[in-house]
């Protein structure tokens, strides 16, 4: 059993390593993060030094009390200090020698935590990483797999700009291009790319908590590591992708990201002449409500609710061909008027509501634009988990409450146009 101080030292080292890994370019590391790393490494060094002292004390005591004939006359004088658990003090935690071994140890420790909670052994506790709030961090390999799969399961994340962040707010003002021109450039002009003026009134994207509960039966906890990992990641990825798409499409911005349909800054669009009715001419007009720079076919796209998709699917051109063309490949989306088209049921459904008593529609069930340039997702790229044992004991299950921190907002309103039905 590892010495408790070695366990604590290993935890500090892994926590510091997790912070370090967030900043591949060390020049971008915030001062407060560097200070936290220094504090963690300082605590680990103190624990290591104390274990060394205890080990040397034990070795000297053993030397003095043992018969002389048992003394190793070829010893180098260093005493061969080892931790109380038989581990070399040069091996904090014993297993942390290479990056591959560290990742494997953290993965095994996490699965052991899932199965046993805090009743896991000291060796696994040493490899388990917690954040500053004591929340258990999902291993980086797992998080990487989930983040790679999210764009495949969710639409808007796959189209928008995703910006990693380590804080609760992402400042988008730093990427503002206020103006550009030949010859003399007048400074202080209004931003021409849809972003706020720089440097005044910089906008930020707030990061929110997205929680997902995964329940596992007792029998499932006995599955092999690969099976258990697959079960958790698949269930979690699907649920997170669904919740993200709903928020990125129609979130209020309070307690969750602000979605496209809720962005009051998007003022351009087309309202249907007859409520709940889609026409080819009106669809065509929607495209031209955004500047040419946001109509590039490589990045622009249509988004619509299922109820609107059904109406679009029935539209035909003068030669009887449907405007909405299904893809010939499972990997590619359908196309509408030459642009990619996606179903996002987080957008408002087409309803019988009317705007001000007129026949014009009021539901932003269809959106067009360039999400790559117009919508930004702020991603903490960390997922924490809390194990819930007693809450679901009567069901013969344990709960895993995962917390994913993410935000999103429109950064260039000019990049989008709506079609109200």
The pLDDT of residue 337: 94
SS3 letters across 121-138:
CHHHHHHCCECCCCCEEC
Using CA atoms, how far apart are residues 252 and 412, in angstroms rounded to an integer? 17
Using CA atoms, how far apart are residues 374 and 300, in angstroms rounded to an integer? 10
DSSP SS3 for 225: helix
The pLDDT of residue 180: 62
Domain with CATH 3.90.1690 in the chain: 138-168+207-421
- List residues bridging with 322 in a β-sheet: 316
Using CA atoms, how far apart are residues 208 and 259, in angstroms rounded to an integer? 13
The pLDDT of residue 26: 55
The pLDDT of residue 6: 75
The pLDDT of residue 313: 95
- Exposure pattern of 276-293 as b/e (b: 16+ CB <10 Å)? bebeeebbeebbebbeee
Give the predicted TM-score (pTM) of the model: 0.70
Using CA atoms, how far apart are residues 70 and 63, in angstroms rounded to an integer? 9
Residue with tokens 């609710």: 305
Structure tokens at 395: 């069901």
The pLDDT of residue 54: 80
CB 402 within 8 A of CB 390: no
- Exposure pattern of 359-385 as b/e (b: 16+ CB <10 Å)? ebbbbbbbbbbbbbbbbbbbbbbbbbb
The pLDDT of residue 188: 55
pLDDT tens-digit profile, the chain (421 residues): 567 777 778 778 878 877 777 776 656 677 777 888 888 888 888 888 888 888 777 776 665 665 544 444 344 444 333 333 343 333 444 444 566 677 777 777 787 788 877 666 665 555 566 666 667 888 777 888 888 888 888 999 999 999 888 888 887 765 555 556 666 656 555 555 555 443 334 478 999 999 998 888 877 777 667 788 888 888 889 999 999 999 999 999 999 999 999 999 999 999 998 888 999 999 999 999 999 999 998 899 999 999 999 999 999 998 999 999 998 877 789 999 999 999 999 999 998 755 444 444 689 999 999 999 999 999 988 888 888 888 888 888 888 889 999 999 999 999 999 999 9
DSSP SS3 for 267: coil
CB 126 within 8 A of CB 2: yes
Using CA atoms, how far apart are residues 370 and 293, in angstroms rounded to an integer? 9
- Exposure pattern of 141-154 as b/e (b: 16+ CB <10 Å)? ebbebbbebbbebb
The pLDDT of residue 121: 61
The pLDDT of residue 252: 94
Residue with tokens 């809450």: 391
The pLDDT of residue 136: 81
Using CA atoms, how far apart are residues 374 and 362, in angstroms rounded to an integer? 23
Structure tokens at 162: 């995703």
Phi, psi of 391 (to 5 degrees): -60, -35
CATH number at 138-168+207-421: 3.90.1690
The pLDDT of residue 98: 60
């Amino acid at each position: 059993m590892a010495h408790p101080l070695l366990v604590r030292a290993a935890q500090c080292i892994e926590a510091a390593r997790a912070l370090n890994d967030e900043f591949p370019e060390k020049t971008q590391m915030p001062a407060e993060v560097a200070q936290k790393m220094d504090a963690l490494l300082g605590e680990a060094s103190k624990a290591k030094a104390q274990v060394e002292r205890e080990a040397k004390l034990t070795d000297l005591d053993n030397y003095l009390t043992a018969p002389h004939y048992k003394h190793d006359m070829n010893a180098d004088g260093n005493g061969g200090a080892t931790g109380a658990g038989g581990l070399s003090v040069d091996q904090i935690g014993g297993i942390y020698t290479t990056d591959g071994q560290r990742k494997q140890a953290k993965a095994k420790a996490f699965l052991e935590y899932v199965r046993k909670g805090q009743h896991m052994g000291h060796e696994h506790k040493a490899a388990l990483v917690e954040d500053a709030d004591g929340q258990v961090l999902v291993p980086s390999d797992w998080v990487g797999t989930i983040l790679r799969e999210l764009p495949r399961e969710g639409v808007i994340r796959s189209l928008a700009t995703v910006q990693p962040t380590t804080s609760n707010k992402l400042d988008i003002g730093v990427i503002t291009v206020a103006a550009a021109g030949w010859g003399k450039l007048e400074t202080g002009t209004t931003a021409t790319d849809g972003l706020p003026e720089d440097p005044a009134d910089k906008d930020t994207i707030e990061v929110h908590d997205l929680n997902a509960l995964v329940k596992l039966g007792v029998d499932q906890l006995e599955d092999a590591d690969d099976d258990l990992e697959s079960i958790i990641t698949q269930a979690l990825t699907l649920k997170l992708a669904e919740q993200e798409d709903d928020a990125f499409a129609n979130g209020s911005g309070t307690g969750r990201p602000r979605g496209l349909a809720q962005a009051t800054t998007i003022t351009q669009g087309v309202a249907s002449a007859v409520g709940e009715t889609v026409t080819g001419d009106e669809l065509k007009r929607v495209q031209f409500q955004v500047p040419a720079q946001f109509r590039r076919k490589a990045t622009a796209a249509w988004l619509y609710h299922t109820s609107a998709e059904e109406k679009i699917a029935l539209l035909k051109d003068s030669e009887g061909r449907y405007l909405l063309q299904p893809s010939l490949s499972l990997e590619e989306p359908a196309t509408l008027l030459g642009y990619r088209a996606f179903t996002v049921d987080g957008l408002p459904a087409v309803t019988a509501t009317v705007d001000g008593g007129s026949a014009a529609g009021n539901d932003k069930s269809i959106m067009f634009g360039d999400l790559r340039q117009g919508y930004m997702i702020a991603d903490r790229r960390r997922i924490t988990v809390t194990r819930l044992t007693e809450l679901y004991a009567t069901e013969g299950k344990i709960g895993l409450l995962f917390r994913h921190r993410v935000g999103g907002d429109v950064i260039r309103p000019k990049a989008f146009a709506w079609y109200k039905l």
